[in-house]
Structure formats: structure tokens, C-alpha cells
Chains A and B, each alone.
Chain A
Amino acid sequence: MRLHTIILGLCSASAIAFGAHAESITIATVNNGDMVRMQKLTDDFTAKNPDIQLQWVTLEENVLRERVTTDIATRGGQYDVMTIGTYEVPIWAKQDWLLPLDNLGDTYDAGDIIPAIAGGLSLDGKLYAAPFYGESSFVMYRKDLMDKAGLTMPEAPTWEFIADAARKMTDRASDINGICLRGKAGWGENIAFLTAMANSFGARWFDENWQPQFDQPEWKNTLQFYIDLMKDAGPQGASSNGFNENLALFQQGKCGMWIDATVAASFVSNPTDSTVADKVGYALAPDNGLGKRGNWLWAWSLAIPAGTQKAEAARKFVAWATSKAYLELVASKEGWANVPPGTRTSLYENPEYQQAAPFARMTLDSINSADPTHPTVKPVPYVGVQFVAIPEFQGLGTTVGQLFSAALAGQSGVDDALAAAQAAAVREMTRAGYIK
């Protein structure tokens, strides 16, 4: 009893001695370069907020998504700030799992956030996550190989042009593939690319009554076009290539063109990593004249789980990390080229940034041309460009991705793959109660 009292007394004494105890918030984030940089710059934040300590959990994308989803859905309460994407935000916000971020401070200037991105992170007009960096997808191509093929890349190419150019640039003898595209099965891998591509072919995942649409000719055109193109001009092993595999191929000079995330531009144009840094050109993702381009929209964003005890500290951190001042901080420490892209209009109006990032304008145009609320030519009941923002999509998308990668690997025909995808989608959607 007495010991107990003494210990208690000591504790309170030390609390007084050290003043107000620092509050510690735990931040879960993905291990991409921009977030890693943020971790190293937190001295700026802690200097301004000496009463807040930051604990980092940095994980690769798939594991991060599992971790934060399990935790928020079971109210595990392990994190105070979570890094999530445009896929999660509408689903979680609907469950009231996230705190709305309507008050991030007077200097925050939420109106400066690129409208397409803000739209993807809002529900009923309320922002539920603050974008840390945003990306769309576009065409990266080798200017030298394009010249050699006797072609000029237009700013806004069609799929027809891309296919023609890819075939002409292909030179198997010197190990140059006309085009590198994602082929690895997965909802965030080949399905992200193919769904965005299908949008420009007039295809959609579901009609207004949630009926899967893989039995429609638009999907057949998309898949057939993709597979023929990859057969003629794609790299070997395409069916297991994701973002990083294609990045490695492109940096080694083995791809003529690569359609992928706009953030890849800063990797392929970085002379320390890339052998082709000075030869890369950029163009908008291709279209088919139907009014939609094959580019997606994604933003890694910071959100605050509704269950946190430290909402105020978390809010301060989110406001700091996604502010204009943070962009300037990165620029002053690491140069404008390393600033997290794709979140604020003002960044793209900054001449210094335009100077440092030759792909800036094309990135902004790509982001602006993607519309998550109206992603397709025909109407759809869902939100999301390269995904469908429903809980069932990750599992279903991966199944469909497996089927499409089999078609790419030549193990099944296009018709078989689509029929199997249709069956899987009907099955899953019936179970989840979308199809009555």
C-alpha cells in the first residue's frame, strides 16, 4: 500500500518536473519515396509543436492496406493518422470511420487542392482525407526511338497511334520492346491499368443495375487490343510485370513506351537512376475518340480514424504535411523536383516547379482529365476511375486480374477469360446483394 503511494507520488512528481507530457501520435504510411522524405523532415513539425511526438509505421502498400483496414474495422485504435488511397476514402467515410477534415486551419487553403483529387477524397461535399501526393497515368516514351521509327508523338495520342508506334519501335534483336504495360494479376496492378484503358474503349464494370459487363463487346475490344499489342510489342514475362518491373525495364532502355503512373516520370528522368533520363517525352494517355482517356486517378492521402483519442494533434500533423508550407520546405531542402506532386494547383503555377519538372504540365492535364465521379462513357452506379469503390472490389478485381493475366500469358483465350470474369463477377455481386 505504502509502496504503491510512493510510486504514484513519484510519477506525479516527475510529471510536474517535466511539464506537460508530450502527446505521441502514431502514423501509418506507405514506404514510397515521398513519405520517407516526410519522415526525415519532421523536425520542422516537432519544432513548431514541441508537445507532439511522432511515431512512424512505414509499410509496403499491400501490408499497409491490410493493417489499417483490419485496425479501423475492428476499432483496434493502433493509429492516429492513416495513409490511405482514393479507393478507401469513400468506403470508409460512408461507415463514419473517418473524421471530416473541414477545419485544417486558416492558412490551409483547401480551395487550392486540385478539384479532381478533392472530389475523389470527399463524400457529400465533405473532405475526409487530405491528399499527400496525387497521380494520374500518362504515356512516357523514348524520343530517340520515336525519331528512329519516323514518327512524332502527338500531345494527345489515340490508341491506334500508340499501337502502330509500338510495333514500329520494337526491335527484338537489340532487346527493345515497343511498349511495356502492366500484366501482373492484381486489382492494383493489371486491373488498374486495364480498367482505365477500358474506360476509353467505352467499357464499364457494371451497368446502372450493377450487372457486370464483361460479356459486352467493349470489354472484348479492350482485352483483344491489349493482348495483340503485348504479343507484338511487349516484353517477355509481361504477365508478371507490375509497376516496378516495368520501371526497371524502362530505366534500362528496354521499352519504347510505358503507360503508367505520372510519378514514374520523376524516376525515369532522374539521371542517377535512369540510363535514358535525357531521352524521355510525355504525352496524355491515349483515347479512342469516345470522350474518355485511359488515365487513372490516385491520391495517397492522410486520414484520421474516428476512434482516435488524439484528434487535435493528428489534425495538426495532417495540416502540416499537406500544406503549401510543406511543399516549400521540401523544395528548400531537396529541390523542387522532389516536391510531392499532384495535390495543389498553386504548385503547378509555380515557375520554379515548372522549370524543375518538365512533366509538370502533362501531369496536371492528366489529373484534370480524370473524373472519378463520371469515369466511363456510359453511366455507372459507382465512383472510381481504375477501381470501383465498393468493398468487394479488391477480391473481385484480383480474380479478374488473374484471368486476364492468363489470357496475356497465352494460357486461355480472350473469350474464355471474359466469360470466366463475367461468371465470377455475377457470383460475387449476387452474394454481396447488389444483384437482386
Chain B
Amino acid sequence: MARTVPTGTKLGWTIAAWVVALLIFFPILYTIVTSFKSETEAIAGFNLVPSGTLESYREVQSQYNYFKPFMNSVIIAVGSTILALLVAIPAAWSMAFSPTRRTRDILMWMLSTKMMPAVAVLVPMYLIFRDWGLLDSRIGLTVMLMLINLPIVVWMLYTYFREIPGEILEAARMDGATLWGEIVYVLTPMAVPGIASTLLLNIILAWNEAFWTIRLTTTNAAPLTAFIVSFSSPQGLFWAKLSAASTLAIAPILVLGWFSQKQLVRGLTFGAVK
């Protein structure tokens, strides 16, 4: 951005933003801090300086090999997101650029497929998965999460695509661009930030989906959500261990967020400059 800002103002905003950000981040920060405490320390009252023991991590790793659920999470979250994007991009595209009177209804209807509470359909779904031999399979779960998140993906893409001004399309058509050319050279660059942020958000949603991923898996397809459930609320103290397990589960997505965040900002400024 070309605007120059006095350093004083920037400093003021910086302080305000950091204070708010740290407040919001505090529960996670505290979880990370707690993961380096012993169980006794963890319940001994407020303390931001842990003893730095790695005992909890050792315990967690010796009880449940992190690598397998991690790989399952990656496969399921990324796989379902890519599948969803493949199906959703054309749909959102057509709704955004040649809308009809029905578009809004279709959008709303898509969202309404998410209205059935998951607990109410557990038994029917379990029966379907059993009959199709999909219990504890990554494929079943990937397809299921794709279907669960598809409406959200369509919605978000639709919203972003709507931001792309239609005049650009017409200009391109006047210049004699083919539909394919229109998509590749004109629209795609403008749509990238929207797709990127949808991708990121949807991976997070799939990563954290904690109902079906736990209920439909046993050992082979169990992702990190199941990993975490094996550390929550046993008889006895578990804060440090749960914190360590949570930190391990959050870390990859935090790293992903960190990178895509930079990606996102670059994409957005690119999109805004017409």
C-alpha cells in the first residue's frame, strides 16, 4: 500500500492489536506452556513459566505413535478439501457469474443439508458405512467430510467470486477471449485469493471435525481427533498430557496457517489492484 502512516499512529495500532491478539491467543498459549509442565505443576495455579520438562511429550508418544494419526489427518483433511474444491469451483462460478432467480434458493438449500444434527443420524450412517465396508477407512471418511463441508466451500467461493467485477469479463469477451482463455487468464488470477482462503478454512474445518472422525474409525483411519480423545479425561490428572497432545495436534495446522497467511495477504492485495 502506498499510503504512508506516521510511526506514532502505527505504534498505537500495533500496541492495541498485540494486546487484543495476545488475549485471544492466551488459552492456547497457556495450553502450550502447560504441555511443558509436570502434572502437579499444571494444577498448581497460574504460572507462565513451566519447568520445561518433556515428560508429557514422552508419555504421549509412548502411548500413541503420533505419526500415524497425523498422516491420516493430512490425507483426510487435504483430500476432502481438494475434492470439495473440484466440485465446488464450477458451481460457485456459475452461480456468481450467471445467476438466476433460483441461485439464492439453491445456495440456501445447500446450506440446509447441514441442518441435521450429526448425533441424530449416527446410527443410520453407521449402518451405511458398515454395509459398504467403509468403517475405519480413509476413503469413506474423506468422502464424508467432503460432503459435509461442500456447502461451506460453495458459499465461500461464491462470496469471493462475486467480488470479481463482471465488467472485466465483458471486456475480455469483447477482446475475443474464449471461455477457456477467460478462465485461465482473467478470472483465475483474481480468484486465487478467494480459493486460497477457502482452502485454508476448509482444511481447518476438516482437521477439527471431531464427531464422525472419531465415531467411524478404529485404528487404520483414526486421525488426530481420535489421538486427542485418547488423552482427554482419564481417571487422574491429565492436563499436561492433554496439553502436549493438543499442542501436537495444533502445531501442523498452525504452521500451515502461518505460511498460507502470507500467501493470503499477497493474494489479496493482488486481487484488489485492478
State if A and B touch, Cβ cutoff 8 Å: yes
A residues near B (Cβ < 8 Å) are 26, 28, 30-33, 36, 39-40, 55-63, 66-67, 70-71, 74-79, 243-244, 247-248, 251-252, 261, 263-264, 267, 272-275
- B237 near A267 (CB under 8 angstroms)? yes
Q: What are 29 A-to-B residue pairs whose CB atoms are below 8 Å?
A: A30-B234, A31-B231, A32-B235, A33-B236, A36-B63, A40-B62, A40-B63, A56-B219, A58-B63, A60-B233, A61-B233, A61-B234, A63-B214, A71-B126, A74-B126, A76-B126, A77-B130, A78-B136, A79-B218, A243-B235, A244-B238, A247-B237, A251-B40, A261-B235, A263-B235, A272-B38, A272-B40, A273-B237, A274-B40
Given contacts A57-B222, A76-B126, A76-B130, contact A67 B235 (CB under 8 A): no
Give chain B residues whose Cβ lies under 8 Å from the Cβ of A243. 235
Q: Does B152 contact A (CB under 8 A)?
A: no
Q: Does B21 contact A (CB under 8 A)?
A: no
Extra 7 A-B pairs, beta carbons < 8 Å, given A32-B234, A60-B234? A57-B226, A59-B230, A70-B126, A244-B235, A244-B236, A252-B43, A272-B38
- A78 near B63 (CB under 8 angstroms)? no
Give chain B residues whose Cβ lies under 8 Å from the Cβ of A275. 40
Instruction: From A28, A61, A76, A252, give the contact of B135 (CB < 8 A).
Output: A76
Chain B minimum-CB-distance residue to A244: B233
How many angstroms between the C-alpha atoms of A70 and B40 in the bound complex?
Answer: 36
CB distance from B215 to the nearest CB of A (A): 7
CB distance from B34 to the nearest CB of A (A): 13
Most chain A CB atoms below 10 A, which of B219, B226, B231, B234: B234
Q: Which 8 pairs from chain A and chain B are nearest by CB?
A: A58-B230, A31-B234, A248-B43, A55-B219, A32-B235, A60-B233, A78-B218, A32-B234
Chain B minimum-CB-distance residue to A77: B130
- A74 near B123 (CB under 8 angstroms)? yes
Give chain A residues whose Cβ lies under 8 Å from the Cβ of B218. 26, 28, 55, 57, 78-79
Produce 1/0 per residue, B199-230, CB < 8 A to A: 00000000000000011001100100010011
Give chain A residues whose Cβ lies under 8 Å from the Cβ of B43. 248, 251-252
Given contacts A60-B229, A70-B126, A74-B127, contact A248 B64 (CB under 8 A): no
Chain B minimum-CB-distance residue to A70: B126
Give chain B residues whose Cβ lies under 8 Å from the Cβ of A59. 214, 226, 229-230
Q: Does B39 contact A (CB under 8 A)?
A: yes
Chain B minimum-CB-distance residue to A73: B123
CB distance from B39 to the nearest CB of A (A): 6
Produce 1/0 per residue, B50-70, CB < 8 A to A: 000000000000111000000
CB distance from A46 to the nearest CB of B (A): 16
How many angstroms between the C-alpha atoms of A261 and B84 in the bound complex?
Answer: 48
Q: Does B49 contact A (CB under 8 A)?
A: no
Chain B minimum-CB-distance residue to A30: B234
Instruction: From A32, A40, A74, A274, give the contact of B130 (CB < 8 A).
Output: A74
Chain B minimum-CB-distance residue to A58: B230
CB distance from A23 to the nearest CB of B (A): 15
Q: Does B232 contact A (CB under 8 A)?
A: yes
Q: Does B44 contact A (CB under 8 A)?
A: yes
Given contacts A55-B219, A252-B44, contact A244 B237 (CB under 8 A): yes
Give chain B residues whose Cβ lies under 8 Å from the Cβ of A71. 126
How many angstroms between the C-alpha atoms of A56 and B69 in the bound complex?
Answer: 13
Give chain B residues whose Cβ lies under 8 Å from the Cβ of A78. 135-136, 218
Give chain A residues whose Cβ lies under 8 Å from the Cβ of B39. 273
Give chain A residues whose Cβ lies under 8 Å from the Cβ of B186. none
Instruction: From A36, A62, A70, give the contact of B215 (CB < 8 A).
Output: A70
